[in-house]
Amino acid sequence: MPDTPLFAMSIHEARKRLDEGDISSVELTESVLNRIREAEPAVDAYITVCRETALRQAEAADRAIAEKKAGPLTGIPLAVKDLICTKEHPTTCASRMLSDFIPPYDATVMEKLNQAGAVLVGKTNMDEFAMGSSTENSAFKITKNPWNTDRIPGGSSGGSAAAVASDMCLGSLGSDTGGSIRQPASHCGVVGVKPTYGRVSRYGLVAFASSLDQIGPIAGNVEDAAILLEAIAGHDPRDSTSIDRPVPAYREALAGDVSGLTIGIPREYMETEGLDPEVAGAVNRAVDIFRSAGAACIDISLPYTHHAVAAYYLVAPAEASSNLARYDGVKYGFRDASVKNDLKEMYTETRSKGFGAEVRRRILLGTYALSSGYYDAYYKKASQVRTLIRQGFSEAFARCDVILSPVAPTAAFPIGEKADDPLQMYLSDIFTLSANMAGVPGLSVPCGFTANGLPVGLQLTGNHFAEDTILHAAWAFEQIAGLGAEKPPLQPAA
C-alpha cells in the first residue's frame, strides 16, 4: 500500500514524523503548496496563497525542531479565513470594500499561531463579511464542495472547510456567527468547533456581529481540532469580551468511553419541518451508537429555539449595521472615485458598489430594526427572545451533559439553488444559530453520507466552557463509528 502523501497527513501524524526527523517542514509545506496548485482550480478555496511566507516559516520551523524547541503546531501548514487580520497579507473579507487592505497588525489568534511556529499557507475564501451560508457571496469567487464541485461547501467559512477537506492545508481557522464553522464542516465532511463566546480572542477578527462572532478550528479529525483549539484559546486583555479562565489540555479529554455521559436529544430539532430523511437517519444512527456505547440518551426540550432564526436575523444585522458603518470611503478601503464634490453621494456610491447584495440586505434590515419607533418592537424583542434561548439551554444542561442534533437540515445543496431565496438560505442555519445566541460551544463531526455520497455532520453542543466534554464525546464517536478517514473524489477543473 503506498504511503500517505505528505499533504494528506493529519496534524498529529505530521507532528510525529517531523519530530522523528522523517520529514522536514519545508518538504511538508512544499507538498501542501503543490496540492494547492493541483486542487485549487477545481475548489477555489483560497483568496490569497502565501507561498513565500510559508516557505520562510517552514525553514524557521525546521530550525526550531532541530533545536528541540518544537510545539504541537511547529512546522504545520495551516490556513485562516480571510477576515482574520494578517499584517503581511491582504485581509479582504471577500469584499470589494477591502480588496487591497493589508492590516498593520496580526490578530491575536495569528500571533498565537506564529508563536507556535505554524506555517501560514493562505487566506481562505468566504461569504462577504461572513454573511452567508454557502460561500456564494464572495466578491471574488464561489468555492466548491470537494465531494461534489457542483455543490456548495457551506458558509461562511466554506473556503476553510473546503481547504481542509481537499488536503490543501492540514487545518484551518474559521469564524462562527450563526453556524459558519459547523455548517461548512458538516457539508465538507470535516470537524469544526465553535468555542464558548469569550474563549478565543476576537482581537483582529473583522467584526460581523460582535456579540455572536467567535473564531474556531476546522480539521480533519477531532484530535487535530483539539490541538488547534488549545493553541488559540485563552484570555486576551485587548478583547473586552475575552474570559480570563484557564485553558484545559483539550487533548487529555480524548480518552475513555462515553459510559456515564447523558446526551440530550431536543425533540424540536428532530421534528423540524424540512429535515431531510437521510440527515435524520444518519443522526439517529449516531444516537444508537452512543446508546450502545453506554451513554444515556434522553429526550429534552429547547422550547424557544424555533424563534432562533427570527431573533438572530434581527440581532445579527443590527450589529452588522453598526459595525459596517465604518466603511464609508473616507478612512480606508474602497472609494468610488467617480464622485468628486458631493460627500453624501460619495458615501452612497461607495457603499452601494463596495458591498455585495447580501451585505447591503443585512445592513438595511439592521438599520431598520434599530431605527426610532422600531427598536422596541424588533431589536429589543429579539434580545428578550435571546435571553429565553439561553435560559432554555441552562435548563437542558441541568439534565444532560451534551445536546445532540443535526448540524443542517440537508446535505450540501447545488450551487445557485437558494441564491435568489434569502429566507431558504437563512433556514440552512436553523440548528446552529441557537448556540451563538446562547454563547455555548458546539462542534460538527462526520456521522455518515447520503445516498449520493455527500457528507452529513452531527452537532454536539455543550454547556459554557465545556469544550472538553463535547470534544471527548465527538472523539469517542469518531473512534466507534470509524468515519472521517474517507477522502472526497475531487474532480479536476474542467
| Residues annotated as catalytic (active site), given as ranges | 81, 156, 180
> What is the biggest distance separating any 2 CA atoms in the chain, rounded to whole angstroms?
72
Contact between 232 and 215 (Cβ < 8 Å): yes
* 357 C-beta neighbours (distance < 10 Å), count: 11
d(CA 270, CA 276): 10
Alpha helix ranges (H) inside 116-181:
158-165
d(CA 260, CA 398): 15
d(CA 438, CA 358): 25
Angle at which helix 308-323 crosses helix 357-370, to 10 degrees, equals 100
**If we measure between CA atoms, which residue out of 196, 245, 190 comes closest to residue 221?**
190
The β-bridge relationship of strands 215-219 and 402-406 is unpaired
Can you read off the three cell numbers belonging to residue 219?
Answer: 480539521
Contact between 137 and 180 (Cβ < 8 Å): no
Place of cell 429535515: 275
Contact between 128 and 81 (Cβ < 8 Å): no
Place of cell 492545508: 169
